[in-house]
Amino acid sequence: MSLIVRQKYLDKVKPFIDKKLIKVFVGQRRVGKSYLMKLCSHYILSQKPDANIIFIDKELYEFDNITDYHSLISYVNKNIAEKKSNYLFIDEVQEIADFEKALRHFQNKNTIDIYCTGSNGDILSGELASLLSGRYIKIDVFSLSFREFLTFHNLEDSMEALQKYLKWGGLPYLMNLEKQDEVIFDYLSNILSTIVYKDVIHRYNIRNVEFFDRLIHYIAANIGNLISAKKVSDYLKSQKVNIAPRVVLNYLHYLQKAFLIYKVKRIDIHSKKVFEINDKYFFEDWGLRNALLGFKNFSVPDIIENVVFTHLNFLGYSVKVGILNNLEIDFVAENSKGTIYVQVAYLIVNEKVKQREFGNLLMIKDNYPKYVVSLDNVPISSYKGIVHLNLHEFLKLEVL
């Protein structure tokens, strides 16, 4: 079986192979976590051809009898090979009741190297966090980057390819479908329904499905805008739906747990104080957002900020919205190497827009790198120390 290597993730895993740490891939359904586990197993076999791989996929019927940690331990014990290196891969491990007890059992025996995936943020909270504290490494998995999109779809690097990426998003399975908007969006709509109903409505026993559906549409239509639970509640009241802000917050939290959306808090650039209300929300995969609203309503300006946010996530940054006096900096992105500031615009069409987008960044008096990202074909190379990047080039960067 030939697999396209997602090198960034394989490089993250390599240092921990055969180490006494559970490797946990977390992320939204269909972003490629199962694929990455197969990639890891193929890499292990390339290094150790006689390795014993035990692969459990909870989405397949043949593994339906593995329902709790007892049956998991029993199955693995029957399949462990003596005098060989054993590797256990469990896809969608959260479908197995009390799975963390089995993982701790095998880790304590130190007879098998463990890898698993999860599509819910609760997988690394509560009991698992306490039982396996310091015993696992979390690997966040995101939709395909633009470079990966080109590789998976066998496309030449072009503006046409970028337009497809902006419209369809980065779910890996799209590579197997006919490259027609109607086909792609039908698939995306089905994936969205699976996430919403299986990972949210069913998991959290949500009864007011109609309101929940309206809430998701509201978030999709307000990408990049400041949102508060009260603002959403007031809007829904205007639509004759009476929902308390607390319920709105709970439902938004459930959507985050399913990795469908991310909440991005605001931070005061001077004081570093994090504000508690008025956050921004972005989709993990904007293709799902586009499918939700319908491809006939697709508009590039509406999703550029989401695409930039997701790429910053992919590059390993922790991202917030910056506040400087009464000005907004779209993204304050931090990693172990430092901070960068990113302002996002559709097009720098005139001097007024240029002064606004660059001017906000010029008000920041530290020496961290500052960028303006837009869709302009011919970006200004630099303006008073601020780098102007075309979105096309920005999305191909591996390091900022």
Per-residue pLDDT tens over the stretch 273-300? 999 889 999 999 999 999 999 988 899 9
Q: Give 173's DSSP letter.
A: G
Quote the number of domains for the chain.
Answer: 2
Q: Is 229 among the domain residues?
A: yes
Residues 129 and 200 in one domain: no
Q: Do residue 200 and residue 115 come from a single domain?
A: no
Report the C-alpha gap between 149 and 165 in whole angstroms: 7
Residue 59: pLDDT above 90?
no
Element (H, E) at 28: none
> Can you give the CATH number for the domain in which 52 is found?
3.40.50.300
Q: In this structure, are strands 327-335 and 370-374 parallel, antiparallel, or unpaired?
A: unpaired
**What pLDDT sits at residue 132?**
72
pLDDT of residue 129: 65
Interval 185-243: pLDDT, tens: 999 999 999 999 999 999 999 998 988 999 999 999 999 999 999 988 888 888 777 88
For residue 399, the model assigns a pLDDT of: 85
Residue 358 has a pLDDT of 94
- Do 229 and 116 share a domain, yes or no? no
Q: What is the pTM of this model?
A: 0.94
- The predicted-structure confidence for 163-185, as pLDDT tens digits, reads as follows 999 999 999 999 999 999 999 99
Give the model's pLDDT for residue 121.
82
Given 110, 140, 170, the domain boundary residue is 140
Whether residue 1 is predicted with pLDDT greater than 70 in this model: the reply is no
290 and 379 together in one domain: yes
Same domain, 135 and 151: no
Question: Do 189 and 62 lie in a common domain?
Answer: no
pLDDT score of 90: 97
Domain range for 89: 7-140
Nearest to 323 by CA among 277, 369, 281, 384: 277
E strand intervals along the chain: 22-26, 52-57, 86-91, 113-118, 136-140, 261-264, 266-268, 280-283, 318-324, 327-335, 338-344, 370-374, 382-383, 386-390
Q: Estimate to the nearest angstrom the gap between the alpha carbon of 344 and the chain centroid.
A: 20
* Pair 82, 164 in one domain: no
- Confidence bin at 127 (pLDDT 50/70/90): low
For residue 306, the model assigns a pLDDT of 98
